[in-house]
Structure 1
Amino acid sequence: MILGTGIDLLKISRVEKVLNKYGNIFIKKILSNDEIKKNKKKLYQANKLAKSFATKEAFVKAVGTGFNKEISFKDISLKSEKNGKPFIDLSERVKSFLKTKTPNGYTTKINVTISDERDYVISNVIISLQKK
């Protein structure tokens, strides 16, 4: 059963413009502390930032709230498994919030798909419910 689905399409040049204008201010607003630590050499790659940004946008759409007092960009970390498969790691605050949206007797599973082609990045997030 699906709790929510979200998708975000982003033109990489938009991220590049903001990155060139604001640099570290933009990075510190969008990336979690964990993402910053693990990607120091790739922080200024617009394509990588665009993937993170689009995935976080897709996640809050799947939750159905958008960014608000419960969820900020820094509460969501985009990571990869050893085989390259992307996944989302959530702060404890967002995990607790997501539990309030999850029916009793169920847990959530978050599936992430990201694709990029020249000028665009697209990310799809599906939050599914699984019986405990």
Structure 2
Amino acid sequence: MIYGIGSDIVAMHRIEALLERWGDKFARRVLGPDELQEFLRRRSRGAHGAGYAARYLAKRFAAKEAFSKALGLGLRGPMTLLSLEVLNDRRGKPFARARKELAPYLEARRLIAHVSLSDESDHVMAFVVLEQQPEGLPQQPKEAQ
């Protein structure tokens, strides 16, 4: 059953300005440990690395906003920017991984997330569907949520 749907769009110039002003400090306020590692890896990719990293960060920010809307809580406990990581599986498909106090909150409600990310030159967008599993069905493995 669909529990909630959320979407968000982010203008790239806003993220680029925040990164220029605050640098890694901004990234550390938005990204979890595994996301931050990927952000730093992308940033180190030569002349275009900063652009790749900014786009990666913008997509994660949009996904977390969309997730918070689907959950119906906004960005407040247990849903915070650092309580959710949006990663990619081996094929590149994005998935959400709950951390901290968000993980037991989602498990108690039997919620799994479906995440879609997209971008164009000036904007990135995220779409999240939260699905509530019927009682008695096993939850998806954490790396696939």
Query: When the two structures are superposed, what TM-score results if normalisation uses the length of structure 2?
Result: 0.81
Between 6-15 and 35-44, the greater mean CA deviation after superposition: 35-44
Which of 100, 111, 115 aligns to 1:112? It is 115
Q: Give unpaired runs (5+ residues) of structure 2.
A: 44-49, 138-145
Shift, 1:51, TM fit: 0.3
Measured in 2, the distance between the counterparts of 1:19 and 1:37 equals 16
Tell me what 1:67 maps to: 75
| 1:95 equivalenced with 2:98 (yes/no) | no
SS at match of 2:101: helix
Q: State how 1:14-33 maps to structure 2 within 5 Å.
A: 14-33=14-33
Aligned residues: 127
Task: Please provide the CA RMSD for this pair.
Answer: 1.4
Aligned residue identity for 1:88: A
Between 42-51 and 14-23, the greater mean CA deviation after superposition: 42-51
Deviations 1:85-116 (A, max 9, x none): 0001111410212245x2xxxx3221000110
Are the equivalent residues in 1 in contact too, given 2:39–2:56 (CA < 8 A)?
no
Aligned residue identity for 1:37: Q
Q: State how 1:35-54 maps to structure 2 within 5 Å.
A: 35-43=35-43, 44=50, 45-54=53-62
| 1:57 equivalenced with 2:70 (yes/no) | no
Q: Give unpaired runs (5+ residues) of structure 1.
A: none
Measured in 2, the distance between the counterparts of 1:46 and 1:35 equals 12
Tell me what 1:125 maps to: 128
Are the equivalent residues in 2 in contact too, given 1:63–1:98 (CA < 8 A)?
no
Query: When the two structures are superposed, what TM-score results if normalisation uses the length of structure 1?
Result: 0.89
Shift, 1:69, TM fit: 2.9
Identity of aligned residues (%): 31
SS at match of 1:68: coil
Measured in 2, the distance between the counterparts of 1:118 and 1:47 equals 9
Shift, 1:24, TM fit: 1.3
Deviations 1:27-51 (A, max 9, x none): 1100012211344222542111100
Measured in 2, the distance between the counterparts of 1:84 and 1:90 equals 18
Deviations 1:4-62 (A, max 9, x none): 11000111111000110000110110001221134422254211110000000000111
